[in-house]
Structure 1
Amino acid sequence: MTPSDEPGYCVHCGQPSPGGADHPACHNPRTALEPPRYCVFCARRMVVQVTPVGWTARCSRHGETASG
């Protein structure tokens, strides 16, 4: 990870957020179950696929993440 790849954005709204954590505006019970919509590293909108067993989210620059 390079210095520019440090987490710094909210995964739900794409706004700056220290450490990539949810900031208060997006921290509620509803968002806890939502897949990420924005890349935590660059705030780009991700391609998200939701299936019955989980989800995958792909950033064009930083790759794919999936539910665990």
Structure 2
Amino acid sequence: MDDATAELLRTAQWRKATRSGEAGDCIEVAPLADGRIGLRDSEHPEQPAYVVSPSVWAAFIDGAKQGEFDF
């Protein structure tokens, strides 16, 4: 990860779904200043985050709303 991306992730405003409850087992997301989306494990925020483009994020959200990831 380059230094610019690391800085964007360090200063990002992370949030997680309200449905995640108190256990903390959820993915946190953050819109980054360069337009990309950061994703990280809320139980281990010190671990590396995953960064995706807006189009990848939109496709994921669309798939989730349509139940594509339901088990």
Shorter-chain TM-score above 0.5: no
For Structure 1 versus Structure 2, the TM-score category normalised by the shorter chain is 0.3 to 0.5
Q: Give TM-score, length-normalised by structure 1.
A: 0.32
Higher Cα radius of gyration? 2
Q: Give TM-score, length-normalised by structure 2.
A: 0.32
The structure with higher relative contact order (CA 8 Å, sep 6+) is: 1
